[in-house]
Structure 1
């Protein structure tokens, strides 16, 4: 694991390729060296109903939530948070220069004793075991 969930204002579908953003975040997560490739999950949810800042229709937001199994040190989580947020910043730089967009992120632990997991993905990925 981790699970990356993007919640974003649907007006951004017109200016950002959200699928490409998801993939960029997946790659950034793997490149941290903190998360196993087979455990990466990135998904996005568009919000059709929202009100931002002064209420103008062109305002947008992206909120990235990263949930991961507990056990990593604060320093490791901080480093991973910085790398993932930087990847999001870099991907969104052009869009944010031209459009009013708020970007936020939160990383939090999941209690491993209360979060059972089952996956056959590793059985289908070359080099994973």
Structure 2
């Protein structure tokens, strides 16, 4: 049940394809054993109201929040968040050469006792997946 939530400043929509960023994060997460592929969810939310650093409206941000069911060793989570953050940095690197952008990420555990879930995605996955 890894959930990836990207919040980004609205001024970045003109320079990034956020759907492509979601797919880049999904693809990288699917390569990491600690993230079960059927549970991967990536979404992006544009933030219209924000203030950054000195207030210059040219500044932008992308914040990646990763939530996953508790139980993985800390060292495994460290490697996973680093790998996902590296994919984010690689995606935005060409634009960061000419644009002021702050990147951040955070991984948090979901308490399974307080997070019921239900779905049919596994029932509908292709047999080869």
Specify the TM-score bucket, using the shorter chain as the normaliser. over 0.9
What is the CA deviation profile of residues 54-86 of structure 1, one whole-angstrom value per residue up to 9, with x for unaligned ones? 111110000000000000000110010010000
Match of 1:14, SS state, is coil
RMSD: 1.2
- Which 5+ residue runs of structure 2 have no aligned equivalent? none
What is the CA deviation profile of residues 42-65 of structure 1, one whole-angstrom value per residue up to 9, with x for unaligned ones? 001101000001111110000000
- Structure 2 partner of 1:5: 5
- Give 4+ residue runs of structure 1 displaced > 3 Å after superposition: none
TM-score normalised by structure 1 residue count: 0.97
TM-score normalised by structure 2 residue count: 0.97
Q: Which runs of structure 2 are paired with 1:44-59 in the superposition (5 Å)?
A: 44-59=44-59
Instruction: Tell me the matched-pair count.
Output: 129
- Structure 1 partner of 2:34: 34
